[in-house]
Structure 1
Amino acid sequence: MKQLFTALFCLALFQAHAQTLYVKTYGRPKDKPVIFLHGGPGYNAVFFEATTAARLAGKGFFVIVYDRRGEGRSPDSTAKFTFDEALADIEGLYKTYQLKKAVLLGHSFGGVLALRYAAKHAASVDAIVLADALLSAQETYRTVLAKVKDIYEQKKDSMNLRYVAMIEQMDTAGLAYNSYTLGHAMMNGLYGPVHFSEEAKAIYQETKKDSLVKKYGSQMTRWAPIGYAEHEHYTTLNMLPELKNLVAKKVKVYAIYGKEDGLFSEKQVAAVTEIIGQDRIDYLAGAGHNVFADQQTSFLNDLQKWLK
């Protein structure tokens, strides 16, 4: 057991398209590989790295964590912020670590990339795990606006009700609509549970001391959402048809959502469940958008059960 927790913590920087990406690995290369695809666009893998990567490796996985090109600790002034570029970098990880197959663990926007990669390279994907994955962007925005409007109505907050009314008149495909909507989600605590478990409290308290979390935890790379919106129209993506196609092709897909993740309605989670099956999804009480930290034991147990 001690060997599992102390085995090969390796920091790696690898070259792709003549640029350097930040990559860190946890665990033993001979174990089943899991590539973590972080959220955003514009975010990074720091919080997962600080809270969960080593613990997942301790369950017998070789965990690969990286920041996408032009985001977080992978600065690149020439980044294009396209799916082709992002998928090529995932392919670069496969080549660097000589992976024949890997599990793609896609958190939030990372779930989109997991599905896109599997659509092109199904034979290289051992399984996909969607963690609070953003699969239907427009439905998420409508969900958020309905929830914050209800909050403001209960508070009789006329000013913010006017702001919501203005957002509803915006171009729903535009980045401004996306940004203002998610801004209200953050203002109203829709990303996290109302009451954290004792386990989660300890995890969040621990991360406050982490130097990387202090530096990068709330850092957003502004050019990434602009680029992905311009080139890939990510604010209008609906990945459910692609999810259906992958399941039809026998690609193993699992999902974990937090019941208190205000970005998703029960209807959205039910749509995912209908496609992948009840036995391949866990809808965890007491968890928000960072389900891997909010209910970590359940999250890790699910992955061990499904993937081993």
Structure 2
Amino acid sequence: MSNLLLVFQYLSNLKLKIAFFLFITVLSLKTESSIAQQIYSKAYGQKGNPALIYVHGGPRGNSTLFEGTTAAGLAKRGYYVIVYDRRGEGRSADPNAKLTFEEAALDLNGLIKQYGLKKVSILGHSFGGLVSTLFTTANPEKVERLILVGGLFSQQESYDHILNTSLKLAEQKKDTAILHKISTIKSFDKKSEQYRKQTYEVASHYGFFKMPRPTEESKRVNEQYENSSFSKSNIRNDKAPTLFYENESRVNIDTKSILKNLLNKKVKLSAIYGLQDGVFSNKQLSDLKIITGASNFYTIDNCSHYPFVDQQEKFLNSVADIMNK
């Protein structure tokens, strides 16, 4: 586009300039339209109510679990809830997607524009916490509240916590396969795709993402999702992590200082975390509580990495309490 503008500057005839300007405008609109068409999104609730955008985890994620279990429930509480799948992930298939934070920010900006919104609140879940934090610091005027929901914020601390905790469990259980795997992981480059992937595999092996004691409510919510069309559209792009690590330099970051600075930009910052979320150490949660302030930091017991499924009613109440402040 910058090359086209240079051409425009060298045109001397006024009519040619007007015609060329119209051409550039149409080209720009077509580009925005093509991007919008690539992005799956859906709104729940009445436009005009406080807007909440859910940003899913990943890379290799989608919003089907949140959409199929919780979006409508939040809308019933008086919010205009927007869910979407990032470009190249889930239902937003795009073979040309780069899977970078910059691309994710471009799509979020496009989504806000598409739905005619001026200011929104964001629910950033897991990896979506990083996407949301980086977007908010670049566009503070567009974000009323940033709500981290089990959102990543100090990746290496999480990796260290997972590996150290898993090592103790493996030693107790004399789990030689996992002991060998942890030893191998520690030899990897900490900014490599395999380091992240296999660390999370170890976490999954020991149930770090599962709530300790499923309740009747959580069983119902999970069964509802499994029997829904959303479960059937739970599309995963296995190439997404590879693309992210190839195209993005910020693959292992700590955003605590960025979160602190958001408060200076008049963005309201809150957090909702499961007390049994195996991704985070007690120290990490304490650090984040200091950043958000105790009154803006919500924890839920008998809850792991998916508060909106593990403890749905408590999650909905927490969001409502945050939004009403």
* TM-score (normalised: structure 2): 0.87
Partner of 1:188: 206
Partner of 2:265: 249
Q: Distance in 1 between matches of 2:115 and 2:129?
A: 22
Partner of 2:256: 240
Q: Deviations over 1:138-183 (max 9, x none)?
A: 1111111112112211111123212211111211111111111101
Partner of 2:302: 286
Partner of 1:4: none
Partner of 1:125: 143
Q: Distance in 1 between matches of 2:38 and 2:294?
A: 41
Offset at 1:235? 3.4
Once the two structures are overlaid, the 10-residue window that deviates more, 62-71 or 294-303, is 294-303
Residue 231 (str. 1) matches residue 247 (str. 2): yes
Q: Which has the larger radius of gyration?
A: 2
Assess if the C-alpha contact under 8 Å between 1:16 and 1:89 holds in 2: no
Q: Distance in 1 between matches of 2:132 and 2:191?
A: 22
Q: Deviations over 1:241-281 (max 9, x none)?
A: 11111022221010001111101111111111111100001
Gaps in structure 2 of 5+ consecutive residues: 1-31
Q: Distance in 1 between matches of 2:265 and 2:233?
A: 42
Amino acid in the other structure paired with 1:160: I
Amino acid in the other structure paired with 1:118: T
Q: Secondary structure at the match of 1:236?
A: coil
Q: Distance in 2 between matches of 1:174 and 1:41?
A: 14
Residue 169 (str. 1) matches residue 181 (str. 2): no
Report which of the two has the higher share of strand: 1
Once the two structures are superposed, the pairs formed by residues 129-278 of structure 1 within 5 Å of their partners are: 129-216=147-234, 219-278=235-294
Assess if the C-alpha contact under 8 Å between 1:103 and 1:128 holds in 2: yes
Assess if the C-alpha contact under 8 Å between 2:56 and 2:125 holds in 1: yes
Residues 182 and 233 (structure 1), Cα distance of their counterparts in 2 relative to 1, 3 Å cut? farther
Once the two structures are superposed, the pairs formed by residues 6-17 of structure 1 within 5 Å of their partners are: 15-17=33-35
Residues 201 and 159 (structure 1), Cα distance of their counterparts in 2 relative to 1, 3 Å cut? same
Q: Secondary structure at the match of 1:48?
A: helix
Q: Secondary structure at the match of 2:95?
A: coil
Q: Distance in 2 between matches of 1:60 and 1:147?
A: 41
Q: Distance in 2 between matches of 1:131 and 1:16?
A: 31
Out of 26, 44, 65, the position equivalent to 2:62 is: 44
Q: Secondary structure at the match of 1:60?
A: coil
Q: Secondary structure at the match of 1:17?
A: helix
Residue 113 (str. 1) matches residue 131 (str. 2): yes
Offset at 1:19? 4.5
Q: Distance in 1 between matches of 2:246 and 2:86?
A: 17
Q: Distance in 2 between matches of 1:224 and 1:255?
A: 27
Q: Deviations over 1:220-254 (max 9, x none)?
A: 31222122222323431111111111022221010
Out of 61, 64, 73, the position equivalent to 2:82 is: 64
Once the two structures are overlaid, the 10-residue window that deviates more, 180-189 or 16-25, is 16-25
Report which of the two has the higher share of helix: 2
Q: Secondary structure at the match of 2:33?
A: strand
Q: Distance in 2 between matches of 1:22 and 1:64?
A: 11
Assess if the C-alpha contact under 8 Å between 1:49 and 1:65 holds in 2: yes
Assess if the C-alpha contact under 8 Å between 2:61 and 2:90 holds in 1: yes
Q: Secondary structure at the match of 2:82?
A: strand
What value does the CA root-mean-square deviation take over the aligned residues? 1.4
Assess if the C-alpha contact under 8 Å between 1:15 and 1:21 holds in 2: no
Assess if the C-alpha contact under 8 Å between 2:91 and 2:233 holds in 1: no
Partner of 2:102: 84
Once the two structures are overlaid, the 10-residue window that deviates more, 294-303 or 31-40, is 294-303
| Aligned residue pairs, count | 293
Partner of 1:306: 322
Residue 295 (str. 1) matches residue 314 (str. 2): no
Q: Distance in 1 between matches of 2:34 and 2:299?
A: 37
Assess if the C-alpha contact under 8 Å between 2:36 and 2:111 holds in 1: no
Assess if the C-alpha contact under 8 Å between 1:138 and 1:235 holds in 2: no
Amino acid in the other structure paired with 2:40: Y
Gaps in structure 1 of 5+ consecutive residues: 1-13
